[in-house]
Structure 1
Amino acid sequence: MTKLATYRRGGEIRIGIVHGPDDRLFDLAAAAGRAGDGAHPFGSMLDLIDAGPAGLDRARRLFDDRGRDEDLSAELRDVELLAPVPEPRQMRDGMSFETHIRQSGRGAMHLAAGDDAEARARIDAEPLPPLADVYRQMPIYYITNRLIVRGPNTTVRWPRYSRVMDYELEFGIFLSRTGTDISASAARDHVFGYTIFNDFSARDQQMREMAGRLGPAKGKSFDGANVLGPWIVTPDEIGDPYDLAMTARVNGETRCTNRTRDMLFSFEEIIAHMSRDETLFAGEFIGSGTVGNGCGLETGRFLEHGDEIELEVERIGVLRNRVERQN
């Protein structure tokens, strides 16, 4: 198995296998119907996840048997690609990259200083703060809004209450199984696949509200803020998930190049921590947190009206979106 996508065609939401040079979608439900399989798990990506390894095996066999039937595939350009799971069962996002954590602290001070050039110069003259011990003691994460997910090629509307809009280059996993107290050694079997995550952020709002020691809330919760895609890639096609190139581009200009290898905790360790005395459910999404230099808060270069953002992760693909201010 390789890439699995959710898409809209002719008003209907379908799931399919991405094939060719990532430009065609094989309709799993239609293929199952042609094969006389009326009780198939291909109504949605969550149905396929819930079907477990047997569901993926059925999808593989269908593609092997029917993949050459031209009318069972659609051109990617002729459909609307959606988030691979348009409504995850839960969304949790981490703080897993040391460089991002340390540089974001400086970025927050820059935002607080505003246009005060002297204050900003004093901030830059100081060395980066050390990483707080808690980040090495346990994976740090928050639960975000699973109901505001959007997919690739969508336009994200800038929240009216914010003047500072930012992108965040992340990747993440969907869980394949439900479980509690999952050991790190067993956690790899709970990974259904990998995707890209753009955690759009209203930075000025985030800075204000997190001074209250809760959040993020409206800094990251507005319609379209959580963007996933372009599809899910199953683990057998990823290889080592901790040695993938990550790139962010804005209007075609490269803003960040980095790799996944610098995570403070692996996804397996994160799953083990999250599942302590708490059930994690198949179909949940877990984000890696932002890679070092993967957002404007670190570099001082935020988004403008009409900017087009491309987040690319090796072996997964490219997630493209546009941001626009609202009147």
Structure 2
Amino acid sequence: MKLVTFTQKNDVNGAQYIADRYISDQYIGALLDGGQRIAVLQVGKEAMTGSPSPFFTDMLAFLRGDAAARDEALTVIEYIVDQHPPDSIVYPDSVVLLAPVPRPESIRDYMGFEQHIINCIRAAGLKKLAPFDEWIEKNFGRKRSIAYRLNKAWYERPIYYKGNRFSVVGPDAPVRIPAYTKKLDYELEWGIFVGKSGRDIPEEKARDYIGGYTIFNDFSARDIQMEEMGGRLGPAKGKDFDTGNTMGPCLVTPDEIPDPYNLTMIARVNGEEWSRGTTADAGWTFEKIIAYVSKSETLYPGEFFGSGTCSGAQGRGCGLEMGKFLEVGDTVELEVENIGILRNRVES
């Protein structure tokens, strides 16, 4: 299933895009016909049984319901498609899609792709020495490079920072550029929502704890981020600002993506392709991440884990790696195979 959280357009006011926090009338639905229609799950459930479902009040409730919620959703979708109860179908142009989980229980963003951190060390740290370091790697191997030696911790464990769950917005929401940055950047990422509680989860069972996948754009104020992280902590205001975390357009249940590490990822700015990669290049898979982070710690449904920026043999996954940044008026699209396109416009 591809599931969305939405509100009716006539319920939306200008405050809606400030992290969705003023929207009260949210609905969850399932995309039909390749996204041409949306089945409203709670309306269908009430038409089918005469009573609402506790699983369909919002996407967090759905995730907490685990397999029982998924089974009930499939039954309701079949009923809606067959019986067409009134008001059980809406069309995308009549609604506003929010982030699949407008307020995740938490956000942790990882550095899952080796090439991203290597590229960033060279671009932001080594700078003029970057070509020399690339020469070292080409002639003597990566382990002899400066970038490798400056980042040995990456190879030992999946490193992450905790993001601001109150800054999440959905597809087509404007991203407000912070007044304090001159280097706003995008990041080509995707992520998972935890689907059930667990602790000390072994890697071989970790996929059972994935409730769904979505696209994630971790907008970043690179100039501020680099200054902050020079203090051996952060990122702080380099990542934390209203509308800085965009997610969507939908939550895709794991059964729809049987091979999650074979997906093409693309970033476009104003229609021009800037980045291309594949989930196959992930050095730290979500299963490895879950196994690590659940050590002596309970995970809960609705927590979000970002993959980190997708960089690899096919391309570079953010502007920092290429030395170019976003401007007011730019439209950024992230596309992940089997999920869709997450589009946002940069505004002042």
Structure 2 match to 1:313? 336
The answer to whether 1:291 aligns with 2:290 is no
The residue matched to 2:332 in structure 1 has which SS?
A: strand
Residue 324 of structure 1: how far off its partner (Å)? 1.7
**Which stretch of the first structure deviates more once superposed, 18-27 or 42-51?**
18-27
On the 8 A contact 1:184/1:272 being kept in 2, the answer is yes
Shift of 1:252: 0.3
- One-letter amino acid matched to 1:124: P
Is the Cα–Cα contact under 8 Å of residues 32 and 40 in structure 1 kept in the other structure? Answer: no
Distance in 1 separating the partners of 2:133 and 2:106: 39
Work out whether 1:76 is the aligned partner of 2:99: no
1:270 aligns to 2:289 (yes or no): yes
User: Which residue does the alignment assign to 1:37?
Assistant: 51
Whole-angstrom distance in 2 between the partners of 1:107 and 1:139: 22
Q: Which residue of 1 aligns with 2:217?
A: 198
Where do 1:104-253 residues align within 5 Å?
104-109=120-125, 121-127=128-134, 129-131=146-148, 132-253=151-272
User: Aligned pair in 2 of structure 1 residues 126, 187: CA closer, same or farther (>3 Å)?
Assistant: closer
Structure 1 residue 48 and structure 2 residue 47: aligned? no
**Structure 1-normalised TM-score?**
0.93
Q: Is contact 2:123–2:130 with CA below 8 Å preserved after alignment? A: no
Runs of 4+ in 1 over 3 A off after TM superposition: 120-126
Q: SS where residue 188 of structure 1 aligns?
A: helix
Aligned residues between the structures: 315
Greater displacement, 218-227 / 101-110: 101-110
Q: Which runs of 5+ in 2 are unaligned?
A: 12-24, 135-144
CA distance in 2, matches of 1:77, 1:38: 26
Aligned to 1:85: 101
When residues 38 and 71 of structure 1 are mapped into structure 2, their CA distance, relative to the original with a 3 A threshold, is closer
SS in 2 for 1:268: helix
The match for 2:3 is: 4
Cα 1:202–1:33 change in 2 (3 A) is same
Q: 1:301 aligns with which of 310, 316, 324?
A: 324
Give CA deviations for 1:64-91 in whole Å, capped at 9, x if unaligned. Answer: 1122417311111110000000000011
SS at match of 2:224: helix
User: 2: CA distance between counterparts of 1:63 and 1:45?
Assistant: 16
Could you list the per-position Cα deviations for residues 204-239 of structure 1 after superposition, in whole angstroms to 9, with x for gaps in the alignment? 010111111100000000001011000011111112
> Does the 8 Å CA contact 1:23/1:77 hold for their aligned counterparts?
no
Q: CA deviation at 1:21?
A: 2.1
Tell me how far apart the structure 1 counterparts of residues 191 and 319 of structure 2 sit (CA, whole Å): 20
Percent sequence identity over aligned pairs: 47
Gaps of 5+ in 1: 111-119
Q: 1:74 to 1:108 in 2, by over 3 A?
A: same
Please state if 1:23 is matched with 2:23: no
SS in 2 for 1:254: strand
Q: CA RMSD in A?
A: 1.4
What is residue 103 of structure 1 aligned with on the other side? 119
**Whole-Å separation in 2 of the counterparts to 1:263 and 1:134:** 16
1:151–1:229 CA contact under 8 A, matched in 2: yes
* Greater mean deviation of Cα atoms: 185-194 or 101-110: 101-110
TM-score after normalising by structure 2: 0.88
Match of 1:14 among 21, 27, 31: 27
